[in-house]
A and B are shown apart, each in its own frame.
Chain A
Amino acid sequence: MNLTLHVWRQAGPSTEGAFATYEARDISGDMSFLEMMDVVNEGLIERGEQPVAFDHDCREGICGSCGMMINGVAHGPMKATATCQLFMRHFHDGDAIHVEPWRARAFPVIKDLVVDRSALDRVIAAGGFITAPTGGARDANNILIAKTNADDAMDAAACIGCGACVAACPNGSASLFTGAKITHLGQLPQGQSERDRRVLQMVAQMDEEGFGGCTWHGECQEACPKNISLDVIARMNHDFLVASWTGAGDKRD
Chain B
Amino acid sequence: MFWRSTIGKKMVMSVTGLIMVGFVLVHMLGNLQIFEGAARINAYSHFLHFTINELLWLLRIILLVSVILHIVAAIQLTRIDRAARPVGYERKEPQAATIASRSMRWGGLALALFIVFHLLHLTTGTIHPVPFVPGDVYANMVGGFQMWWVTLIYVLAMIALGLHIFHGAWSSIRTLGVNRPKARPTRRPIAAAVAVAVWAGFTLVPVAIFFGWVR
Contacts and interface: CB of A to CB of B under 8 A. Distances in A.
Interface string A227-248: 0011101111111111010000
A244 B2 contact: yes
Interface stretch (B18-26, B90-98, B205-213): B90-98
Nearest to B178: A234
Contact of A235 (B9, B94, B179): B179
A241 B91 contact: no
Interface in B158-202: 167, 170-171, 174-179, 182-183, 185
Contacts of A207: 4-6, 80
Among A19, A211, A234, A240, find the residue whose CB has the most chain B CB atoms closer than 10 A.
Answer: A234
Given A100-B89, A100-B91, A234-B177, A216 B7 contact: no
A72 B77 contact: no
A4 B15 CA distance: 50
B177 A239 contact: yes
Interface in B58-91: 77, 80-91
- Interface size on A, as a range, is 35 or more
B170 A216 contact: yes
B10 A219 contact: no
Given A216-B174, A217-B102, A238-B178, A105 B85 contact: yes
A16 to B, nearest CB: 11
Contacts of B8: 240, 244
B31 interface: no
A213 B104 contact: no
A38 B185 CA distance: 37
A234 B183 CA distance: 9
Contacts of B34: none
- Interface size on B, as a range, is 35 or more
A20 to B, nearest CB: 13
Contact of B179 (A221, A238, A250): A238
A181 interface: no
B11 interface: yes
Contacts of B146: none
Contacts of B84: 104-106, 171-173, 210-212
B1 interface: yes
Q: Is the interface of B mostly helix, strand, loop or mixed?
A: loop
A230 B7 contact: no
B10 A73 contact: no
B101 interface: yes
Contacts of A233: 174
A195 interface: no
Contact of B1 (A168, A200, A206): A200
A229 B89 contact: no
A150 to B, nearest CB: 17
Interface string A69-108: 1011100000000000000000000000010100111100
B106 to A, nearest CB: 13
Contact of A237 (B77, B85, B87, B177): B177
Contact of A231 (B4, B9, B101, B179): B179
A223 interface: yes
A250 B82 CA distance: 30
A131 interface: no
A240 to B, nearest CB: 5
Contact of B86 (A105, A171, A217): A105
A218 interface: yes
Nearest to A171: B81
Given A168-B95, A170-B102, A230-B183, 7 more contacts: A103-B85, A170-B94, A207-B4, A207-B5, A216-B170, A229-B183, A235-B179
26 contacts: A71-B93, A73-B93, A100-B91, A103-B89, A105-B85, A105-B86, A173-B6, A173-B81, A203-B5, A204-B1, A207-B5, A211-B84, A212-B80, A212-B82, A212-B84, A213-B6, A217-B98, A218-B101, A219-B94, A219-B96, A229-B183, A233-B174, A235-B177, A236-B177, A237-B7, A240-B8
7 closest A-B pairs by beta carbon, nearest first, are A238-B177, A172-B84, A212-B84, A213-B6, A218-B185, A171-B81, A212-B81
Interface of A: 19, 69, 71-73, 98, 100, 103-106, 168, 170-173, 200, 203-204, 206-207, 210-219, 221-223, 229-231, 233-242, 244, 250
